[in-house]
Amino acid sequence: MNGSTKILLCVTGGIAVYKAVALVSKLTQAGAEVRVIMSHSAMQFVQPLSFQAMSRHDVYYDTFDEKDSRVIAHIDLADWADLVVVAPATANVIGKYANGIADDMITTTLLATTKEVWMAPAMNVHMYDHPAVKANIQTLYERGVRFIEPSEGYLACGYVGKGRLEEPEKITELIMNRHARKQPLTGKLVVVTAGPTRERIDPVRYVSNFSTGKMGFAMAQAAANLGADVTLIAGPVGLSTPAGVKRVDVESAAEMLQAVESYFEQSDLVIKTAAVADYKPKNQATQKIKKQQGESSIEMDRTSDILATIGKKKAHQVIVGFAAETNDVETYAEAKRQKKNADYIIANDVTQPDAGFGTETNKVIVFSAQGKTDFPLMPKTQLADELLKFISLQQGWNS
């Protein structure tokens, strides 16, 4: 990390405050200059002296305690920082920031800064899932605030679930990746779809496919590592949210299309890795369909074609589609690219060993207006990084 990188760490009240002390240490060791503001609630868990020792700077906690009479502290700190990080970010500070409330040192500074702001939430699992908290997070995300999603595990309240502050090492790694040097996707808003969709037949049955979402989640993580603000729209999968990525869970093709359209206009790059069901039951039963004698059939309707829909709406966006094929890969993939008005189609033969659904590796061919490019068999995490660097280079985003 560049030694001149200045990070303002805002620490709000919660048991995870102790991790913030370690975060200051990790960031300082990485070469950053860190200054700390604490809320009065945070000071109930850890004393300012701990942060002072780690940062080697005075700790701020009172809006009216001006340590330098030549400047107004919260304005000076807001201007000084290259990056403002709120960790842990409680439901309280998220709500205040979303609604423009400035009643302490941290919230006045947040409203005064024009610099990039990251928030790392930490709270009880039910609080994190509360509609008001989710709405406040969405509001801030739309204003450009980046969120480092909490991890899952045992919480101080005794619950097990999502709400633990991400580990200091991981937060430091994300900051280093973003600010150590200009990344090709810095400032880009990237939307990734991943996993299967489920089309319900009745309350206990559905139509779906074998997609696990691994490739899509790898693409989302790689995009975040390359500096992008990433929204991951995920079908029903059993994967943890990539660090530094905003996740939206959906079930059906219709829900996925609605989610994609809600982010499409502001996006720069849309990567559609999801294996969306092509058909859905024409009539969804409200009660379980009982087994009957003889044959039975289900009348099906086509689902919405998400790639074709956004292809028609494309303005400045770069659109990347995936094609999982079993034969004539090149013919079908190039035809799909042209028909759907996609910039890139990434195709693979799912019948190939170690390159289909659920595997840890993949082997693909990228089709674009410039021709085709082969990527050999490699881990999906590595492939995602290689694909995004390739697309960035093609788009001139590396310069």
Active site residues: 157
> Which tokens is 24 given?
């200051």
- Residue 290 neighbours by CB distance under 10 Å: 6
Identity of the amino acid at 325: E
Q: Which two tokens stand for residue 370?
A: 């410039």
Q: Can you tell me which residue has the tokens 């990390």? A: 1
Dihedral sign for Cα atoms in the order 301, 306, 308, 313 = positive
Report the distance separating Cα 333 and Cα 340, nearest Å. 11
Report the chain's terminal Cα–Cα distance, integer Å: 20
DSSP string, 154-208: E-TTS-EEEEEPPPHHHHHHHHHHHHSS--TTTT-EEEEEESB--EEEETTEEE-
The C-alpha atoms of residue 382 and residue 291 are separated, in whole angstroms, by 47
CA distance 381 to 223: 11
Contact 59, 52 (CB under 8 A): yes
Strands 300-302 and 279-281: antiparallel
C-alpha gyration radius of the chain: 23
Q: Is the peptide bond before 131 cis (omega within 30 degrees of 0)?
A: no
Q: How far apart are CA 236 and CA 398, in angstroms?
A: 34
